[in-house]
Amino acid sequence: MMRRSLLAVTALVAGVLSFTASAEAVVDVKFTARHEMRTLMPGVKTVAWTFNHTVPGPLVRVTAGEELRITLHNADKHHGHALDFHASEVNPMRVMMDVKSGQTKTFSFTPKRPGVYMYHCGTAPVLEHVGMGMYGMIIVDPPEPRTPAQEVMLVQSEFYGTLKKGVLTPSLKAMLTRQPKYTAFNGSPFRYLRDPLKVKAGQPVRIYLVNAGPSLGSAFHVVGEIFDAVLPDGGTVPFGSNVSTAYVPAGGAGIFELTFDEAGTYPVLTHELGVASLGALGRIVAE
């Protein structure tokens, strides 16, 4: 039976676009690249380079073996842009080409390995394009579905620049020196302190995490809980069980499985505490 494939705004953000695979198991996904002023957090705005108006870009979800056909339209008048999918196993010179301002190109590949992976703009300097917001998550589901669980999708990232009068002016120099002004889950510092994630206690939870960087690692941790399994890049071989904290490098990803035995409020963060203090810190409420 053909399984539904999904393109959705990343993790728990309103506004979902659904795509259904055709009889030939081809999933069409459309991206538009552009510059936009966006609200980073209450009281702070910044210019971002976006895919489909969002930072992170839209969540892409397919089943292993389905062909993913991607159309990238570059509506940015200033820069070329490209797409690099870490889920692909192809010659990058064939499919990850730059798309010039005003142009549109389509390419395709077939993800073979189930897991969770980063995608990002592959145009040089990649540091700047990722640092400006051009990244997202792709989930490749196995043909035989994983065991049922409540799902949470998180993309950790960094924002660089100088803050003045409520506007963060991005800085490539700050990116090069690895000195972020903010860090975040799903594009907004302290987002899940303001609006906690909610799950049901006593039922399995599966957290998909991408660390988009562009430069700092994530020592992922949920205070008050221990992971039943940690799967690097979401593969089939667990890193281990009974893990309290697991490292995800910039550009890496993982699946974290756990069950909240008690109702309550559980901080979620990178345990690189200086990084967490800049915004990669939230709460999960188990009810």
Q: What is the pLDDT of residues 134-171, one digit of tens each?
A: 999 999 999 999 999 999 999 999 999 999 999 999 99
**pLDDT for 5 beyond 50:** no
- For domain 5-144, the CATH architecture is Sandwich (2.60)
pLDDT at 24: 59
Of the pLDDT bands very low, low, confident and very high (cuts 50, 70, 90), residue 18 is very low
Q: What is the pLDDT of residues 218-250, one digit of tens each?
A: 999 999 999 999 999 988 878 878 899 999 999
pLDDT at 235: 85
Where do the domains of the chain lie? 5-144, 151-286
Q: What is the pLDDT of residues 167-221, one digit of tens each?
A: 999 999 999 999 999 999 999 999 999 999 999 999 999 999 999 999 999 999 9
**pLDDT for 19 beyond 50:** no
Fold designation for 151-286: Immunoglobulin-like (2.60.40)
- Name the CA dihedral angle for 25, 30, 31, 36, rounded to a multiple of 10 degrees: -140
pLDDT at 7: 35
Overall pTM surpassing 0.85 (yes/no): yes
pLDDT at 12: 38
Q: What is the pLDDT of residues 105-134, one digit of tens each?
A: 999 999 999 999 999 999 999 999 999 999
Q: Greater confidence, 23 or 161?
A: 161
Collect contacts of 261-264 with beta carbons under 8 A, ≥24 apart.
261/201, 261/202, 262/201, 262/286, 263/201, 263/287, 264/201, 264/224
Q: What is the pLDDT of residues 37-55, one digit of tens each?
A: 999 999 999 999 999 999 9
**pLDDT for 91 beyond 90:** no
Q: What is the pLDDT of residues 63-87, one digit of tens each?
A: 999 999 999 999 999 999 999 999 9
Give the residue-averaged pLDDT of 96-102.
92
- One fold for 5-144 and 151-286: yes
